[in-house]
A and B are shown apart, each in its own frame.
Chain A
Amino acid sequence: MRKHSPRRRALPNIRLVFAGTARFAMKAKIIITPKKAVLDPQGKTVQSALEHMGYQGVVGVHVGKYVEIDLAPGTDRAVAQQALDEACHRFLSNPVIEDYKLEIE
């Protein structure tokens, strides 16, 4: 029998609480950026392009990723926060090279 993948274990919790009651749709917004110690050739290239275009005062550019997750209406915010924080750490970002910021709204 196939084992549940870790992701499938973590996500059902999000929908547990208040499921079925009509609420506003919730979104999780996750911004993933390269760690400062990690080489970011994309950021460097974009920075030098901005400089060549004449934009002044640019002292650093870091190119990352943006992930938006739609949550079921009525999702408990605290439960979602905890589950998604785990998902960010284990899957959506790689803690060796990336930092993330998670917001739920």
Chain B
Amino acid sequence: MNFAVLQFPASNCDQDAVHAVELLGHSARLVWHKDSALGDTDAVIVPGGFSYGDYLRCGAIARFSPVMQAVKQFADNGGMVLGICNGFQVLCEANLLPGALIRNRSLQFRCEHIYLKTATHDSAFTSQIPPGKLLRVPIAHGEGCYFADADTLAQMKANRQILWHYCNGQGELTDDANPNGALEHIAGVCNERRNVAGLMPHPERACESLLGSTDGRLIFESMIHALGQKPAALAA
């Protein structure tokens, strides 16, 4: 599979995402924010970092970059898109995902390993995660508190768009296990069509035992599994 990993000024997990995809035996290449086409691409990763310095709001300026117009078209055609950390913020700003990410409740930048509980296995991003398996992955963000209004949240629940919750090591959604104050412990969501997803934690930094966890692989393996069942690559 060919993954396109976007690169904005001040992206900083772009190389990590390329590395993770290559570890899994697939190819990934970086696509510069000024490019207005993605080329031959099976899936897009919008990586973490501080695109455009997080000016105005996280992701607000990246959203209008030429490459994001191509990503929007790719997603509208059913292409698979994963936003990680700042990438999640960019996809929310671009209205490709519901809700928004605001300042952590603690006002602190949180950089630590957390546990994720998968809310539904019925998605291209979670299908290969074994039932009951908690994912231990790192977070590194100052503005990861997920918010959506009550109507949006109800709609997301009805459509099973919440993919991951923050939990403790026993899988419980305790207040202590919520690192940023996210609404209902939401760590990651997908769109109604289920082809675009975003999460604040960094699965690409949890793909090698050297880094303390390989749980992040399960998310990429789910994407690769879903792509393997698609007939042809989507060009954009």
Q: Total A-B residue pairs with C-beta atoms closer than 8 Å?
A: 48
| Chain A residues with a Cβ closer than 8 Å to the other chain, count | 18
Besides A39-B145, A41-B104, 8 new A-B residue pairs in contact (Cβ under 8 A), listed by A number:
A41-B103, A41-B107, A45-B107, A91-B56, A91-B64, A94-B100, A96-B92, A96-B100
Q: Which 5 A-B pairs have the closest CB atoms?
A: A96-B100, A97-B100, A5-B64, A2-B36, A41-B107
Is the beta-carbon distance between B99 and A96 smaller than 8 angstroms? yes
Q: How far is the CA of A41 from the CA of B149 in the complex (A)?
A: 17
Interface of B toward A, CB cutoff 8 Å? 34, 36, 56-57, 60, 64-66, 69, 92-93, 99-100, 102-107, 145, 147-149, 181
Most chain A beta-carbon neighbours within 10 Å: one of B65, B104, B147:
B147
Q: Cβ of A82 < 8 Å from any Cβ of B?
A: no
User: How far is the CB of B100 from the nearest CB of chain A, in Å?
Assistant: 4
Q: Measuring CB to CB, which residues of chain A are less than 8 angstroms from any residue of chain B?
A: 1-3, 5-7, 34, 37-39, 41-42, 45, 91-92, 94, 96-97
Interface SS majority for chain A:
loop
The answer to whether B66 touches A2 (Cβ under 8 A) is yes
Which residues of A have CB within 8 Å of B66? Answer: 2-3, 5
Residues in chain B near residue A38, CB distance under 8 A: 102, 147
